[in-house]
Amino acid sequence: MITTTLYVDYTIAAGVTVVCPKTVNLRQAEYGLFSLHLIVTGSGTLTVTYQLAHDGIHFITPVTASEIVVDFGETDGPESNGVDLVPFDLELAPQLRLKFEETTTTDGIDVTAIVATH
């Protein structure tokens, strides 16, 4: 298993979408298993989507893509504390990057995000 830390306590302002500049190399994802460890604090909510690339330059959101999480906030997750480990599926490609969108228009959030591949 390989983990890639994308953000640690990264602040996203209300209504802003951020494309993480750090990419995840999927070439060693031997079993095609993926998960996102999320920690969200603040009054806003977070939607996470993904983009893939074969060349590491031209990232796109596949037509068949779905959100990893939608409107996730600091009271969500299995213990209602803004922490969750979310499994997700991907189309075949060697490079991954995530998009983080704060989905309210009034409140920002702080995000810690770690991707695990296996």
pLDDT in tens, 54-87: 999 999 999 999 999 999 999 999 999 999 999 9
| Under 8 Å between Cβ of 48 and 68 | yes
Amino acid at 72: F
**Per-residue pLDDT, 1:** 87
pLDDT in tens, 2-23: 999 999 999 999 999 999 999 9
| pLDDT at position 28 over 90 | no
**Per-residue pLDDT, 113:** 98
Amino acid at 1: M
List all residues 6 or more positions away from 50 whose beta carbon is below 8 Å from its beta carbon.
Answer: 61, 65, 68, 88, 90, 96, 97, 98, 99
Q: What is the mean pLDDT of residues 27-48?
A: 94
**For a pLDDT cut of 70, what percent of the chain falls above it?**
100
List all residues 6 or more positions away from 29 whose beta carbon is below 8 Å from its beta carbon.
Answer: 2, 117, 118
**Per-residue pLDDT, 80:** 98
* 2-117: CATH architecture: Sandwich (2.60)
**Per-residue pLDDT, 55:** 94
